[in-house]
Structure 1
Amino acid sequence: MNLKYKILAVLAAGIALTACGGSGTPASTPASSAVPASSHVAEEGVTEPINLLTGTLDDLDDPDTVTFIPASIVSGVQDGKLTAKVFSYDRYKKEDIENLAVGDKITFHEEGAAWNQVVNDAVTSIEKNDEYHLVSINGGMEQPSGLDLKLEDDDTYRTMTFDDYPLYYEMGEKTMPLAEDVVLKDSSADPQAEAVETTGADAVAAAINAEPDNWTTYNTTLVVQGGKVLEVRRIWVP
């Protein structure tokens, strides 16, 4: 079977985590090859995220799609199932951000927003740092209605917070069983740690339950297919 791949949102390989003087590199993921269809039509003159309102928790049940999601495990593993809060972040076409002008509008999720809660703000200022591929809109995230963006790959900008993380919004909460051959890839020991692999539902459940409060949006990625968790990945974060 030829699997389709998509990313609701995942920390892309190479994102530097700069808080507290540390750095970490998330596990790499395949590029997205399918963007879910949406009936939403953008307003003329408004720059919107490419993934605006196009993904839902139901996508995780698709048997033909492997999905990588940043998640916070909220209840450990009980009876072979884990409950997680699932998150995403806004991404924009490079050309849209490069063509953005004062007087235009841009749509984005504010910190702590749910997936269907967006703001549609007028652009009053744009500052660009070409050396580091950064764009600050309306004074950046320190200001009301401000937004910071970073070039994530050759053709996509993503939101950015103080510590270089994406600006996450919550998709919702979902309970999913662990696959029998689920794999935990844990490189959270230190910035240079090689991933330690644990295989099997019972062993992975025991590892997660041993540290119930240390599986957060910033360090945890779930790989899901057909409603089951195939992999749990945890990285080091400051």
Structure 2
Amino acid sequence: MLKNKKVMTAIAAGVLVVAGIVFLAVESAGGSTDVIGKKSVQSYEMVLNAIPDLVRKDDEGKGFTLTAPDSSVRFTWSSASDENSRYDLKLQADAAPFISAGLDTGKLPADYDVSDDLITMGMKLKEDGSADTDESPLSAYEGLVKNDRSLINYHGVMDHFGVKLGGGNMFEWAKNLETSASTGKTQDKDIVFVLEPEPFIAAGVDPEKVEGWIYAPVTVMEHGKKMQVNKFLKPFDIK
């Protein structure tokens, strides 16, 4: 009898483990119990609260913009697509460091824009509609999660959430501004602007000479496997 009880206990424990794995898979897939989506909203609120002076209504379109502490790059997001804007999500970076490193702006892809000394790269959202006129920076992000959940990801190696902007470009922020769960150490990369280097390299840039940007390998998950890809990174500690 005791042996049977042990067997039943082991089976029950196994069922709970499998159920937990399935539950987490559903959450990560963006289901009704979407932990990644919900947690990303909570952590993004912490970022917005940490640097309120660097967040404002976008001059164009109906989104909001978060500017880096050194003003060299900015991230713009919106909850809905705006037919009057070329991009609904975008990164804008100072062009000067890239030009100094050899960039021929005329050789950048057609979906990049170079004007007013800025390089802009981004994408349109799938969802059409009007954003609430009383929308806040946080509610705009919540709308983005709701309408285009596939653009939100979790980068476990860095313990970061992120918004994918197309073409390998991203904006990432720490899940916890104090401690990185991946290292157990103090988090020193609270926000990170991420650029795909290949279009710049193809347009003449020497990636090692772009002042203010780190050209480095980043570990990512592709098709369930870890691999390293090179990126331009600009991290900031905002605490």
Q: When the two structures are superposed, what TM-score results if normalisation uses the length of structure 2? A: 0.27
The structure number with the bigger radius of gyration is 2
Q: Which has the higher contact order (CA 8 A, sep 6+)?
A: 1
Say which structure is richer in helix. 2
Instruction: From the two aligned structures, give the one with the greater strand fraction.
Output: 1
Q: TM-score, normalised by structure 1?
A: 0.27
